Chains A and B, each alone.
Chain A
């Protein structure tokens, strides 16, 4: 990555200072991971590992950090270790240390002095000031290590000595909740490890501008990886919970598919192809919900794409850029951030009585279409704006009219952007639940999907065409998931409600993530294509 980093990484022989800093970094990482493991209950909080109690290990790791940091700071100060520290660790660091020490001071005062505001307040202020001054007054190498070392040592002592152990609880007066040591200790260690990591990373590069960069990068990097880890865990969790359900009775060749009169073996996934309700299903599935979702998406797209693209063309190609376009822009952005439940309310008040009199697919399509519309408009506009003016000029210079230019040059060139936008938008509305509760949902576990195609009827009285299925309620994946969670009266020997819910969640996740992947992929593809040719 950064060249600064690269050079530094290969600099010189590893000195004792580097070694200590590396050890501190490694120990903080271990403590960090172990604490998360404890919170996720992968590690037993009362268990014994490598001969020590888990909490003693965690507390001990803080001791190690404290000692290492003290060495790193003092070593640099007394010139045992090469470094280029600044005059002071800086105000931000001072403020943070002050805050941390203020918490320590406040708690300590409350512990020994009582719960009066004067007592813990003055304790907090005194310690806070001390911490702050200790951080900013001495040179950077001392200011950014010693206050932390002291703090970590203190926390480590409290944990190892058993003042705070798994059974201990903190019951603050302002809430009914209680905070047990079994959860507090890992939280403390996580934060302690982050502090130690930052400080050690700084020391590793000899403080100064380079050290600050190193410290910041480690801190940000670790935070971001934890965040990604949590997000990935969420997805993994759904997959783990839902996969068994989804694959119940599935086989690679068990199914059959008819192609040109020949019956061929085919993949069989009953959970995906079966209906949930009815009597004759061994393995209830989500087929009607998938069909319902597809109809919803199809309707929304048919409604929103022509409107959105049309409006985008008008706004970019025809309209004078002025107050009117600005108004439309504010309106579309507003529409884009309007909560989905508000769309649902609107559908309930405005569309339901006028169209179907009750929940129906058609109203659901329209409401989702309203939600899709601003996204299609915004992305189409961006895409059309991104078409280089050179194309328009070239076409005009050949004596081609505006509309012909739009049709033959602008729209084709903007198409990739529009398509990508639409796919991403579809991914979004396919998982939308809230408005469906109000305007769409019918039987949560139907025994048949909506038969839209078969239901067209023509007549001589207006409205000439009717489609009963479109005007009836149905089920869709997110709606079905909601029903499984809340109603859950899904009684079938094959699955419990929750199992069925996880299976539905997985199918929904696969569908939506699949759509997103196609969208993101197509954007990358089109971008590459555009840049390479």
Chain B
């Protein structure tokens, strides 16, 4: 069955020719490595749409396994200057964990597949063994708060933080242009309790406020409630909820009277979703300025949870995300904050290859 594999699975760099040779070696390769006792099955991840850009971009790079010197994806500046290697990207990051190199484009030592839903799903999924890694943009205990999960269970989560988000508040372009560029956190609370319902109360035009939110169970929602209202289960009543960040972003762009909380990666300062400043205890937190600050209550860690420890395969991939290359390419370029040096060090230790020798 090599043929159909070639055509269906061949990631042939945009051209449909020459994909035939790809399929067969995959099989031999994975056969060999599975016989050598390494787990080469697909690494699955699911969960937060906030973390998704990080893990998914990581997975794309990983699965593509570009050769060193591929200026777009694994440039010399990184490969030879930073890491001093001429190996392919995934081959290189996997070798320390005992994986054999494949030496082929689009054939990583093991594949990674990242699904997309909410943080809640990721946390549930990793807990029930449905996926290897659970992406979450809120802490697991906040996600699971109120669902009667015991502390012993919570202890089985292994937390890996892969990036930091400074959740901004955004409004529709028209509102921003009409002069509402900053509100206080109390006003924000009132909006989401339906106590302020018209923009004129905030110095804007005479228009109803369309308070948008994310689905319950999404990390963004949980974090928002936790950070703004002080309780992950605080009752808030937005006018409308959306499944994922993107849908939310689109909706804000479509209308002329919306406000929303969203992940950094989805802010368009000059586009349809301009961020506004949030004043807390006299300090104004602004996009591009101080959202990453520890004091900004809406800033939050982006987690990649594993269950009951971390397996070699999981560690290998998370380490890839935590590498300097990963932080720069997957976190920073997606508009999130890289982990500070010291935190990076602790996180890397948790998944260091030495744990798996």
Direct contact of A and B (CB under 8 A): yes
Residues in chain A within 8 A of chain B (CB atoms): 255-256, 258, 268, 270, 273-275, 277-283, 287-288, 291, 352, 357-359, 441-451, 453-454, 468, 472-473, 483, 485-489, 491, 497-498
Q: Are the C-beta atoms of B11 and A278 separated by less than 8 Å?
A: yes
Given A487-B243, A489-B246, decide whether A444 and B115 contact each other with a Cβ distance below 8 A.
yes
Q: Which residues of B contact A270 (CB under 8 A)?
A: 14, 16
* A298, B240: Cα distance in complex, Å: 39
Residue of B nearest to A287 (CB): B8
Given A291-B8, A488-B244, decide whether A468 and B41 contact each other with a Cβ distance below 8 A.
yes
Tell whether B53 is near chain A: CB-to-CB under 8 Å: yes
Q: Which residues of A contact B12 (CB under 8 A)?
A: 280
Q: Are the C-beta atoms of A486 and B129 separated by less than 8 Å?
A: no
* A468, B27: Cα distance in complex, Å: 13
* A205, B253: Cα distance in complex, Å: 55
Q: Which residues of A contact B27 (CB under 8 A)?
A: 454
Q: Which residues of B contact A357 (CB under 8 A)?
A: 128-130
Q: Mark B107-150, 1 if CB is under 8 A from A, else 0.
A: 00001011110000000010011110000000000000000000
Q: Which residues of A contact B9 (CB under 8 A)?
A: 288, 448-451
Q: How far is the CB of B341 from chain A (nearest CB, A)?
A: 28
Q: Are the C-beta atoms of A277 and B245 separated by less than 8 Å?
A: no
Residue of A nearest to B243 (CB): A486
Tell whether B72 is near chain A: CB-to-CB under 8 Å: yes
B226-261, CB < 8 A from A: 242-247, 249-250
Q: Are the C-beta atoms of A280 and B5 separated by less than 8 Å?
A: no
Given A280-B13, A449-B8, A454-B27, decide whether A443 and B114 contact each other with a Cβ distance below 8 A.
yes
Residue of B nearest to A268 (CB): B16
Q: How many residues of B contact A (CB 8 A)?
A: 53
A288's partner among B8, B13, B46, B246 (CB-CB below 8 A) is B8
Given A283-B14, A473-B115, decide whether A277 and B63 contact each other with a Cβ distance below 8 A.
yes
Q: How far is the CB of A439 from chain B (nearest CB, A)?
A: 11
* A258, B244: Cα distance in complex, Å: 43
Nearest 5 A-B pairs (CB), nearest first?
A358-B130, A488-B246, A453-B1, A280-B13, A449-B8
Q: Are the C-beta atoms of B113 and A472 separated by less than 8 Å?
A: yes
Residue of B nearest to A473 (CB): B115
Q: Which residues of A contact B42 (CB under 8 A)?
A: 468, 472
Q: Which residues of B contact A473 (CB under 8 A)?
A: 44, 113, 115
* A403, B36: Cα distance in complex, Å: 53
Tell whether B64 is near chain A: CB-to-CB under 8 Å: yes
Residue of A nearest to B52 (CB): A489
Q: Are the C-beta atoms of B8 and A256 separated by less than 8 Å?
A: no
Residues in chain B within 8 A of chain A (CB atoms): 1-2, 4-5, 8-14, 16-17, 20, 23, 26-27, 41-42, 44, 46, 49, 52-53, 56, 59-61, 63-64, 66, 72-73, 105-106, 111, 113-116, 125, 128-131, 242-247, 249-250
Secondary structure call for the A interface: loop
Given A280-B106, A359-B130, decide whether A489 and B4 contact each other with a Cβ distance below 8 A.
no
A487's partner among B63, B105, B247 (CB-CB below 8 A) is B247
Q: Which residues of A contact B14 (CB under 8 A)?
A: 270, 274, 280-283
Q: Which residues of A contact B128 (CB under 8 A)?
A: 357-358
Q: Which residues of A contact B63 (CB under 8 A)?
A: 277-278, 447-448
B113's partner among A256, A281, A443, A483 (CB-CB below 8 A) is A443
Given A278-B64, A448-B111, decide whether A454 and B131 contact each other with a Cβ distance below 8 A.
no
Q: How far is the CB of A434 from chain B (nearest CB, A)?
A: 14
Given A270-B16, A487-B116, A489-B245, decide whether A447 and B130 contact each other with a Cβ distance below 8 A.
no
Q: Are the C-beta atoms of A280 and B11 separated by less than 8 Å?
A: yes
* A489, B56: Cα distance in complex, Å: 10
Given A282-B14, A287-B8, A472-B42, decide whether A486 and B115 contact each other with a Cβ distance below 8 A.
no
* A491, B113: Cα distance in complex, Å: 16
Residue of B nearest to A468 (CB): B41
Q: Which residues of A contact B106 (CB under 8 A)?
A: 278, 280, 447-448
Q: Which residues of B contact A279 (CB under 8 A)?
A: 60-61, 64, 66, 72-73
Q: Which residues of B contact A359 (CB under 8 A)?
A: 115, 130
* A309, B23: Cα distance in complex, Å: 37
* A443, B42: Cα distance in complex, Å: 11
Q: How far is the CB of A291 from chain B (nearest CB, A)?
A: 4
B8's partner among A258, A451, A485 (CB-CB below 8 A) is A451
Q: Are the C-beta atoms of B5 and A489 separated by less than 8 Å?
A: no
- CB pairs A–B below 8 angstroms (13 shown): A256-B16, A274-B16, A277-B59, A278-B11, A287-B8, A447-B60, A447-B64, A454-B5, A472-B42, A473-B44, A483-B116, A488-B247, A491-B53
Q: How far is the CB of A454 from chain B (nearest CB, A)?
A: 5
Q: Are the C-beta atoms of B13 and A489 separated by less than 8 Å?
A: no
Q: How far is the CB of B333 from chain A (nearest CB, A)?
A: 11
* A256, B17: Cα distance in complex, Å: 7
Q: Which residues of B contact A275 (CB under 8 A)?
A: 11
